[in-house]
Structure 1
Amino acid sequence: MKSSLKAEFARLGPVRAISRVRSGSRARFALTLTREGWPDLNSIAVTMALSRRGLTMLAAKKTVEDLIRQSSEQAEGHAIVLLPMTDTIEAVISDLAKAGIRAIHVDHKADVDVALIRRRLKLSRRQFALWYGLEEETIKGWESGERTPDTAAKSYLRAISNRPEAVREAYAHTE
Structure 2
Amino acid sequence: MSIREVEDYFVALIKARFARRVRAVESLPADWDDDTFRRILRQAPGVFVVFGGGDADPSFDEQGRPVIEGQWGFTAVTTHAGGELARRHGDQREIGAYEIVEVLTTLLHDHDVPGHGQMKLRSIKNLFTDGVEKQGASIYGVEFSLPMFVTPENGEQPDLGTFRTFHDDIDPAPKDGRVLASDITNLEQ
TM range (shorter): under 0.3
TM-score by length of 1: 0.24
Q: Which has the higher contact order (CA 8 A, sep 6+)?
A: 1
Quick check: which one's strand share is greater? 2
